[in-house]
């Protein structure tokens, strides 16, 4: 595995994406930083982490088998890879909160940001950014977040967890490369947080909706069965799960 270790960087995703323009990167090149000064989350949010306590890293993956509208399968594969890796460290009550937050006991422990490189409507590569709360115990005002140490009372070796996650990414990358989309989607949906449970959502207009998560579309939209028994699809900007 080709690993680039940095003390501090603005964003591992930005660093790796820029590097991919000037260099012919090997598959699964990893950039890991002790500190991200401007870590990025979904929809422009920030990701902050205590120095040296957590895993903040990005992985470069070449992809040549996906059309533009099939990008979400990379997200499914990544979510499942992290889920499987954390199982090996006995993290309990895991779930995937759509689109790709990893929860334990209803608290977020991992965020994922995937930036796909697309040319001529074909995905060429993915920069997979992962932020995992490992040994940090003071999460301040983030009441809905937790860490592996808070959950299990163990101080973990960051390199060991990094190796385990990358190993699982390689396993699930095969599902994408072989276009085993039905298997991937089925496994992802079985692990979806609050699937088939009555849930409350907020839409773009600030209105509250009640419904049941039924699954995701091939393009990654959340499929919700609403109170009027209508199955509707929502993208990330359109709906927020409140629990």
Report the percentage of the chain scoring pLDDT > 70: 95
Contacts of residue 205, Cβ cutoff 8 Å, sequence gap at least 6:
none
* Dist. CA 95–CA 194, nearest whole Å: 9
pLDDT band at 48 (very low <50, low <70, confident <90, very high): low
Contact in structure between 98 and 216 (CB atoms under 8 Å): yes
pLDDT (0 to 100) of residue 46: 46
**Residue 157: φ, ψ to 5°:** -85, 115
CATH 3.30.230.10 given to domain 3-190 = no
Locate the domains of the chain by residue range. Answer: 3-190, 198-241
Average pLDDT over residues 165-179: 97
**If you average pLDDT over every residue of the chain, what do you get?**
92
For residue 211, pLDDT beyond 50: yes
* Dist. CA 199–CA 60, nearest whole Å: 35
* Dist. CA 36–CA 142, nearest whole Å: 18
pLDDT (0 to 100) of residue 70: 94
3-state SS of 134-189 is CCCCCCCCCCCECCHHHHHCCCCCHHHHHHHHHHHHHHHHHHHHCCCHHHHHHHHH
pLDDT band at 205 (very low <50, low <70, confident <90, very high): very high
Equal fold, 3-190 vs 198-241: no
Structure tokens at 185: 């989607």
Assigned CATH topology for domain 198-241: SH3 type barrels. (2.30.30)
* Dist. CA 80–CA 6, nearest whole Å: 27
* Dist. CA 196–CA 214, nearest whole Å: 6
Report the percentage of the chain scoring pLDDT > 90: 81
Q: What SS3 class is residue 44?
A: helix
Alpha helices (runs of H) in the chain, residue ranges in sequence order: 12-22, 72-88, 148-152, 158-177, 181-190
Contacts of residue 73, Cβ cutoff 8 Å, sequence gap at least 6:
66, 175, 176, 181, 184, 185
Contact in structure between 41 and 111 (CB atoms under 8 Å): yes
pLDDT (0 to 100) of residue 42: 47
- Reported pTM: 0.93
* Dist. CA 204–CA 234, nearest whole Å: 10
pLDDT (0 to 100) of residue 38: 66
- For 77-135, the pLDDT digits (tens) are 999 999 999 999 999 999 999 999 999 989 999 999 999 998 888 899 999 999 999 99
Residue linked to tokens 């995905």? 123
- For 34-45, the pLDDT digits (tens) are 988 765 554 444
Structure tokens at 133: 């709360």
Lowest mean pLDDT among 222-226, 230-234, 235-239: 235-239
């Amino acid at each position: 595995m080709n690993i680039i270790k940095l003390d501090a960087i603005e964003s591992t995703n930005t660093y790796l994406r820029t590097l991919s323009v000037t260099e012919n990167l090997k598959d699964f090149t990893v950039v890991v930083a002790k500190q991200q000064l401007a870590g990025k989350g979904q929809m422009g949010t920030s990701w902050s982490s205590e120095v040296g306590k957590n895993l903040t890293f990005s992985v470069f993956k070449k992809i040549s088998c996906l059309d533009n509208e099939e990008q979400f399968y990379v997200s499914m594969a990544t979510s499942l890879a992290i889920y499987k890796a954390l199982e090996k460290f006995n993290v309990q009550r895991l779930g995937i909160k759509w689109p790709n937050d990893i929860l334990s006991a209803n608290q977020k422990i991992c965020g994922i940001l995937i930036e796909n490189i697309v040319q001529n409507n074909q995905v060429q590569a993915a920069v997979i950014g992962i932020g995992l709360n490992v040994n940090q115990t003071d999460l301040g005002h983030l009441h809905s977040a937790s860490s592996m140490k808070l959950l299990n009372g163990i101080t973990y070796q960051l390199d060991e967890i990094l190796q385990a996650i990358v190993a699982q990414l390689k396993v699930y990358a095969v599902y994408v490369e072989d276009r085993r989309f039905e298997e991937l989607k089925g496994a992802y949906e079985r692990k979806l947080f609050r699937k088939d449970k009555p849930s409350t959502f907020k839409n773009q207009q600030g209105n509250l909706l009640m419904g049941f998560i039924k699954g995701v579309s091939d393009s990654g939209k959340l499929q919700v069965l609403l109170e009027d028994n209508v199955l509707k699809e929502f993208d990330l900007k359109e709906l927020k799960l409140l629990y």
